[in-house]
Amino acid sequence: MRKYDNEFKRQAVRKILAGQSVASVSRELGVAEGVLHNWKKAKLEQSSSAEQEVLELKKRLKEVEMENEILKKAALNSTLSD
């Protein structure tokens, strides 16, 4: 089993928390998705409630931004087809 140093783990989790998918981080770093999920879970358990709230808000913001892009494309397609 391969050992990873703490800085490597922090960088990997930071990428995930910044919005990069676990699958893409897994491919990029050559680490199994399950291992990344475990590192992320451990980080979240160590976080304060304020840090957790910030992470949840960032996640929700990303979801809303994606929804907004979909709606923009739908509106554009609707106006083009009229």
pLDDT of the residue at 42: 93
First to last CA, the chain: 60
* Predicted pLDDT of residue 17: 87
Compute how many other C-beta atoms are within 10 angstroms of the C-beta atom of residue 80.
7
What digits encode the pLDDT tens for the residues 17-62? 888 999 999 999 999 999 999 999 999 888 888 888 888 898 899 8
